Every structure is written in C-alpha cells, then in structure tokens.
Amino acid sequence: MSYLLGKRGVVFKLLVVLLAVTAVASACGSDSSSDDAAPAATTAAPAEETATTEAPATTEAPATTATPTTTTEAPPVGPSQGGSASVAIEAEATGLRPWEDTCSSPCYNMMQSVFDPLVSQYADGSYGPNIAKSWVSNDDYTVWTVQLQEGIAFTDGTLVTAQTIVDMFGVQQTGAAAAGVIASSNLIGVEATGEHEVTYTLSATNGPFMSVLSNPPLGFVFNAALVPAGDDDAMAAAANAPTGIGTGPFMVTNRDVDNRTEMERNPNYWRVDNFGTQLPYLDSVSFHPITDEGTRLDSLASGTVTAMQTLRQATIRDARIAAEDGSLWMFEFQGNNSGGGMFNVLVAPYDDVRVRRGLLMASRQEAVIAALGGEGISEPATQVFAKDSPFYSEAVAEAYAGYDFDGAMALLEDYINDADRSDGKAVGEKIDVVLSCPPDPTLIAATEVTQQFWNETGLINTELTHFDQATHINMALGMGNEFRGEHEAHCWRWGSEDDPGGDNSGSSPWETSPFNFSNWYDPDHYALLEEARTMEDIPTRAALYEQAGLIQNAAAPIWFSGGTATAIITAAGLGGFDSWVLVDGEVGIGHPSAVGNWGQAYWAAD
Amino acid sequence: MLAARLVRLVATLLAVSFLTFFLVNTLPGDPINALIPPDAQQDQEFVAQLREEYGLNDPFLVRYGSWLGDAINGDLGRSVITDQLVTDEIKHRIPVTAELAVVSIGLALLLAIPLGVTAGYRQGTKIDQSISALAQFLLSIPSFIVGLILIYFLSIRLRWLPATGWTRLTESVTGNIKTVIMPAVSLALTEIAVYTRVVRSDMINTLKETYVLSAKSKGLKDRFILFRHALRPSSLTLTTIVGLNIAGLIGGTVVIEQLFALPGLGKRLLDAIFQRDFIMVQGVTVFMACVYVVINTCVDLFYMVIDPRIRRKS
C-alpha cells in the first residue's frame, strides 16, 4: 500500500475522531440551558390576559406614558411552579448597580429580577404600588410622602425601612446614573418621617414625580450598607449584585460577565400572585448576552436558550416565520418608542424651517420602514405618543409633515432661490445635507432610502456618514460645545413609556439642556411642557401636550419613521409577560422594550 | 542575545503603550459620555468631580506617566465604566481566548500537516491538485460563514451542540468541548488552508535536498523519510506562521467571539473601544502586545530546536 493510501487513512481517522468527540460531547453531561427547563408542580392558574405594553427612549420633547401592546401570544393557560428560563439578551449589562450603571433594555431584564422598584406601571401607563404602598403630595407637588410596605427584606434578611431609602439617597447622590435624575426631577432631600414613611422634598413642582421612582436610578431599592462610601472594592463587587443587595424575586448565584448570569429564586420573596401562590414561579433564570441578532434567534431555535429579546424589526419578521410551526411564542410590543431623526437647528441649512419641512415631505415613511424591516410590523409615527397612549393626538398626527413631493419641492425651491438663504450659498445652488446613522445594516438601508428620496428632488446633495453608537451619541450631545452638538441630520429614537413629565425637562433651561438634542427651542412650546408638570390630571395634560405637539410638528425639528416594535420570543410554553400583576392585583404594563418581568414568568401548565 | 531581546521587548511595549494611549485619547468622544447619562452631564459640578477623579483634566503626558508607573507595578487600573480591575478582566477572559486559539490551531495542524506533506510529496498529481483546490476553497470562505453553517447544521438541525455560549473547563469538560468545537473549527478551516500550502511548498524544496535523496537511496520507506527527515526542516515557515497566528488570535477572534457569544478578550477590547473605556483599552492592548512579543521570542528560540544549523550560528 502506498504512503498516500496510508495517509488517507489517517485523515479519515482524524475526521472520525472529530465527529465522535462531537457526538460524545453532545450526548454527555447536562448542558445548562434547556435540559432542566421543564416545569414541575402546577398551581392555580389565572387565565392569561392580553395586556398592554410599550417601550422607552429619550426625547427632546417630553416622552410618553400609557401604552399599547400588540401581542402575538400564547394560548390562555396558567402558570406552573418551577422550571427555569435561559434568556438571550442583546448585550451585557455594564453592571447591576441601579444607581451607578447606565442601563438599557437588556440590563433592565437582569436588574429587575434582582431589585424591586418602589412603584410599578399599570397597563395604562399610570403608576401603582410596589414597595411603596401609597403616596400623597402637597398641593404644589413639591413634597411627596410615601408609605412603604412592612416586612419586606433583602435577601440577607435585612428589613427595608424608611431609613433604607434615606441611605440609598446618600449613595444615589454620587451615583453616575442617579445623580442626573435627582437633578432633573428637582429632588433635593429624602427624609425618614416614620418607621415606614419617607418624605421626598423637591425644589420645584413635579406632578408626575412618582414616575421616577419606577425606574432603576432612583426607584430600585437596594441595600446601601453593601456599598460604603469610598470603598472601591465594594463598589466593584456590587456590580455583580451580591446576595443581600436586593429584595427581588431572584438572587445572582454566578455572574460570568459576557457569558451568562445565573440566578436562583429568592426563597423569601415577599410577593404572591392573585391566587396566593408564592412568586416567582420559576426556580431559576439565566441571562446570556448574544450580540448578533441572527445567532440569538438561532440559539432560541436550537434550544440553546429558551427565550430571547429583540429590539429589531427584521428579527421580529424572521422570528414570526420561525414561530409559524408553533415552536415559539411571540410577545410583541409597540409602544411610544419610534425611530426617526433630528436636525441640528443651530446649523445651516437646518436653521430654516423650509428646509426641515421640505426634507420631511420629500421622504416617504413607509419606504423607510420597509428598509428597516418593519413592513407589516410597524406603523408610521407622527409624534412621541403611540395611538393608544392617552396623550396621542389626531390633530398632531395631521400636522406632521408627511410625504408630499410637490409641497417639498416648493419649500426647497423657495429656500434655494432666497438670496438670504442661511447656508450662504449662491441662489440656485443645491442644498448640502449630511445624514448620519450608526452602522447597523438596517439603519444603513434606511438612510440610503432617505438619501434617494432627498436626492430625487434634484435640489439636495445628501452625504451619508456612519459612526459607531458611542460616537453618534457624543456628536449629538456636544458636551464640548455647550451641548450644541457636532451633528447635522441625525438618526435618533423618540418616545418612551415613562411619564412625559417625569424627569427630563424641568431643572435646566431647555435651550441649553443636553436633552435638547436638536437645539430647537420655542418658548411657547416649552411653557406648555412646564405647565403639564404642574398637574397629574391626564386629560388636561393631554390637551397641553397636544398644543405642544402642534407647535413642534409645525417647526419640524425632528422626524419619525415608524413605531419601534420589540419582542420577547420564547420556546412554546414560556409566558406570563403580558399578564403579570402589581401588588394590588391589577395587570402591569407588560414588556416594553422587550423587558420582561421574569419574577412572574412561568412555564404554562399542561 | 537574551539581553538584546529583553531590551527590544521593553522598547516594543513602551512604544505600543504610548501609541495606544495617544490613539485612544484622540478618539472622538469623552469617557464621561459613556460613564454617565445625558441628564447627569448637565450637572457641571458633578462632571468636574468625575473628571478630577479619573484624572481626565491632567495633561496627556502626566496621565500616561501615571498609568505607566502603576502598570510597572502590575496595576493596569480600573475600568472607568465597570469599576472592575483590568487585570481581573484579562484573567477572566484569557482562558477562553487562549483555549480557542490553541484548539483551533491544533485542529488546523492536525489536518494541514498530513495534507501538506501529501501534496508536496505528490507534487503535480491529481492528489496535489485536489488538495490545493481544497485549500483554495477553504481560504475563500470567511470564518464567520463557516460558523453560521455549523450553527445551522450542528445546532439547529441536529441539535448536537449549543449555538452560543461558553462552558469553562473548570465547570464541565464535556460542556467545554461542546462549546469550543464550532468556534474552533470555524477558525481552523482558514488556517488549515494556509498551513497546508506552506507545508507543501517547503516540503517540495526539502525533498530536493541531497540528504533526502541519500535516504531514499538507502531504501528507507517514503513515510519514514517524509516524517522523520523531511518534515522538520520543512517546518520553519510553518512555525513562524503558527507563532504569529497564536499571538494574532489572542485579540483577533472578535468576529467569532461575537458570533458565538464567547466571553473572550477580543470582544472585551471591542466593547471597551466603543465605550471609550480608555484604561481598559490601554491595559488589554498592552497585554496583547506582551503576548505577541513573548510568543515571537519563543518562536525564535524554537527555530533552534527545529534546525541545528540556526543553533550553531547563534
């Protein structure tokens, strides 16, 4: 036999060995995720209700509230007790310190499994009790007295009292995430006025103040004793949420950063469901950061994980196809969050409303939504409120500068032929526009479509630029130039499920606020927003926001594409994201921005 | 010779650390942007306090000098974003990246050496042409495409292996094997192509050497000649490339780490760059430079083991 034949044999053997190792490895051992995910005993089962949902974001105009939910969901079956869930999230959390770590959707999934908020949001977007069982304010909304539930303990047994909240405030004042919220919500003092009574004092009126107590920086209750001032090691350790730091339904048992974070049920959790069943239903939950959208869905489809989140419409589209055989359940949510962009009105030619409106009217929203992968998923947006928000306005929708090619041409020609045009160009010269978006494939596609629309007018030269997310945000923020920014036409997201008056407009002049990304300021518009902060009544506030929206859409400093659909997608049987309840038994807001309430998620009973 | 190498090593590390520090500082943006949300940035006093705390107000050279002083004492600092020690983050991730690099290169060598030797030995035959065509084919497929194909077949269709994630060796050996196979094979296929071509090329030249002809004339078996007499002197180029690959893979597996969601060093570096976490970027880059320099030094030394003529010259 020749050498060659002998060699071929060796190669063949190597391949056989490799395949054998693969097969043996896959057959042996219990690999975490799906193996032990089966539920155990069954408990009384509330019928699953299709509730509401929504999503968060940042805005220049105040954001949102109550929200809508589009839920493609699970059959009406009740929870069983036990089992586990492994959840693929789109990014790793910087850390799990509510007061310190800047958090977004994936991180919130983890954080709210470990910490409980003082208040929670109902399905209609208003706020209800959690650790705070009731609250009352003075007439001008500058002093808020909050009563806490009694008998709630951290996972190390330490009881939550009013002093806990005071101690938290000491840490929050120097917390990277909390300090800004304290300033913008006008909060100047927290005092224990009883064993379980806390008084918050504000420097200025803030009608929707309780909304900030639903969010992590100020609202998530933690044990400040574990992070003594000046102790760097304790601060670093807190990022992994050690036992005793929270009161939430789960405790972190293993945090392998960028790989997985494992949690087990808090055996002494203080919550039960409407039928008296101890929460959480699940024995354990683990979170796995998988950045790539495609492999995140592949991981779910292959059983590597049992749930995933996505904030991308294209992934929802693909997941809908994968779910057609019934192997996956989809919990979709379209709230107040929408895609779009803004013009930096301090930069020519965007300082001229003719250009701003002309650009909006030259672009067709449906085509941009299709490029984003949202055809049949997202609806065109016209304001920072979704249609089922109590603050949504038909009048504002009609005032939005939608697609009107002839109208756009008229406005742009008027500008081009204006001898005093703001960009200093000669009469008749084309307008130069720089449109910038992060380099996500769908965003690139959307900007290319927009570029085509704008260039089709024959009056505009559109240059596209793409910077990474951090640079993109920094350019709009403009910390180095008094928050004027270094951007021109800039992709952005608008709207959130948070109360529109909560924390983002009051404390600093809007002209110079870092939240005013477009730098557009209209005193009448701003006065309406401020007035809305002085009251709680929703219909009255809605009327004020309507007036503000009309002014804003006329000035067109920002534009919208479509509502941002988000989803939690699970292996068939894992649900509960639309039916979770507050302590008073009322249904909660659902899963805005693909943030699930894992403390009330469950495997459906057979 | 050793002293000269050490001087070169230190000079290289100093240059790398200085250049990295310089480049990170010229990136657009400010670490404060990543550190605190926009609402906190309107509090100028708070921002000033943070800038002072992180030494961001100091001149560039002062900051570099301060960092260097600590680094010499083994303190690469704390991440400005996560507050974790840079050395801890490296220690946490290097086992993942190193294992991935070693396994992928090991797999590649296992297949490439026999293929390369065969192709060289059978130069010009259909076998040689087939192997060369295979190598060309493997070279043309990006590793992430291989990864996607493997995920589709081995995870989604057959459900043999987890699509993503990493099980550490200390947790479970079988779990570790299951999570390392697909990323390692994805990386290995391209390397197989490169190594095969290199071995083939060197083998063709070696087989023309007089000592090989002499061995043949003594009637030694082909297999014995190839693997005992010809392979070693044909491995110099291969050794160089493998050394460069190992060092390169320490930071260069980021695409595969991203695809398979592995907690490796490359992914950490990429995240740090996007977060403007300059202390983390600095620490990880210098660590990678160290690995590069040390491995290349080892490769140089290994030449002497492979080829006695180099040893004698040295």
Residue B123 and residue B152 share a domain:
yes
Question: Tokens in use for A435?
Answer: 């449109």
As a whole number of angstroms, the distance between CA B223 and CA A5 comes to 11
Do the domain assignments include residue B214?
Answer: yes
Of B208, B74, B191, B184, the residue nearest B141 (C-alpha): B191
CB contact under 8 A, A176 and B165: no
Q: Which of B43, B118, B175 sits opposite A180 (nearest CB)?
A: B43
Q: B274 and A298 in contact by Cβ < 8 A? A: no
Nearest to B261 among A31, A58, A291 (CB): A291
- Distance separating alpha carbons of residues A497 and A588, to the nearest angstrom: 12
User: Contact A168/A192 with Cβ under 8 angstroms?
Assistant: no
CA distances from residue A236 to B36, B82, B83 in whole angstroms, order as listed: 16, 7, 5
Residues A523-541: pLDDT tens digits?
999 899 888 888 888 899 9
For the cut 90, the answer to whether the pLDDT of residue A441 exceeds it is no
* Nearest residue on chain A to B36, alpha-carbon basis: A176
The mean pLDDT value of chain B amounts to: 87
Say how far residue B248 (Cα) sits from the centre of its chain.
3
Residue A473's pLDDT band (boundaries 50, 70, 90)? confident
Rounded to whole angstroms, what are the CA distances from A83 to A115, A264, A272, A569, A603?
A: 21, 11, 17, 17, 7
- Are residues B49 and B130 both part of a single domain? no
pLDDT higher than threshold 50 for residue A37: no
Q: Cβ of B111 and A14 within 8 Å?
A: yes
d(CA B59, CA A588): 52
What whole-number distance in Å separates Cα of residue A225 and Cα of residue A246? 11
Residues B259 and B123 in one domain: yes
Nearest CB to B164 within list A102, A290, A512: A290
Q: Give yes or no for a contact between B191 and B138, defined as CB atoms under 8 angstroms apart.
A: no
Of B78, B181, B261, the CB nearest to A288: B261
C-alpha distance from A57 to closest chain B C-alpha (Å): 12
Chain A nearest CA to B152, separation (Å): 8
Give kind and range of the element (H or E) at residue A409: helix A405-416
Residues B21 and B143 occupy one common structural domain: no
Task: Specify whether B211 is located in the same domain as B132.
Answer: yes
Q: Say which DSSP state A80 is in.
A: B
B47 and B168 fall within a common domain: no
Same-domain check for residues B105 and B152:
yes
SS3 labels along B241-301: HHHHHHHHHHHHCHHHHHHCCCCCHHHHHHHHHHHCCHHHHHHHHHHHHHHHHHHHHHHHH
Same domain membership, residue B224 and residue B143: yes
Judge if B259 and B120 occupy the same domain.
yes
Q: What are the φ/ψ torsions at residue B208 (nearest 5 degrees)?
A: -90, -5
Which residues are within 8 A (CB) of B194 and not within 5 positions of it... i.e. 6 or more apart? B112, B135, B139, B241
What is the interface size between A and B, counted as CB pairs within 8 Å?
A: 215
Q: Give pTM, 2 decimals.
A: 0.83
Cβ contacts (< 8 Å) between A6 and chain B: which residues?
Answer: 223
For residue B249, what are its two tokens? 């893979």
Look at residue B202 and tell me if it is in a domain: yes
In a domain, B275, yes or no: no
CB contact under 8 A, B81 and A94: yes
- Structure tokens of B137? 């084919």
Question: Quick check: A181 and B39 CB within 8 A?
Answer: yes
Q: What is the pLDDT of residues A418-435, one digit of tens each?
A: 999 999 999 999 999 999
Q: Is A193 exposed, middle or buried (0-12, 13-18, 19+ CB in 10 A)?
A: exposed
Q: Minimal Cα distance from B85: which residue of A?
A: A236
Nearest chain A Cα distance for residue B1, angstroms: 41
Give whole-number Cα distances, B276 to A396, A487, B12, B81, in Å.
39, 19, 24, 9
Q: Is the peptide bond before A280 cis (omega within 30 degrees of 0)?
A: yes
Give residue-wise pLDDT tens across range B16-32. 889 988 887 777 666 67
Cα of A204 to nearest chain B Cα, Å: 17
Q: Is residue B163 part of a domain?
A: yes
Residue B121 lies in a domain: yes
Is residue A569 a contact partner of residue A329, using CB atoms and an 8 Å limit?
A: yes
From A11's Cα to the closest Cα of chain B, the distance in A is: 7
- Examine residue B308 and state whether it is found in any structural domain, yes or no: no
Residue B188 within a domain: yes
Residue B190 sits in the same domain as residue B107: yes
**Cα dist from A77 to A365, A399, A604, whole Å:** 39, 44, 6
Average of per-residue pLDDT values in chain A: 85
Number of domains in chain B: 2
**Nearest to residue B97, comparing CAs of B295, B260, B243, B263?**
B263
Same domain for B260 and B209, yes or no, is yes
Q: State the ipTM, two decimals.
A: 0.84
Span B144-176, pLDDT tens digits: 999 999 999 999 999 999 999 999 999 999 999
Q: Do A176 and B50 touch (CB under 8 A)?
A: yes
Within 8 A of B178 by CB-CB distance, chain A residues are 25-26, 29, 31
For residue B229, what pLDDT band results from cuts at 50, 70 and 90?
confident
Q: Is residue B26 part of a domain?
A: yes
User: Do B110 and B223 sit in the same domain of this protein?
Assistant: yes
Q: With residue B132 as reference, give the H or E element that holds it.
A: helix B126-140
Would you say residue A1 has pLDDT above 60?
A: no
For A220-232, what is each residue's pLDDT tens digit? 999 999 999 888 8
Rounded mean pLDDT of A299-315?
A: 94
CATH number, domain of B214, equals 1.10.3720.10
The range of the structural domain enclosing residue B165 comes to 89-265
Residues of chain B found within 8 Å of residue A482, distances taken between Cβ atoms:
none
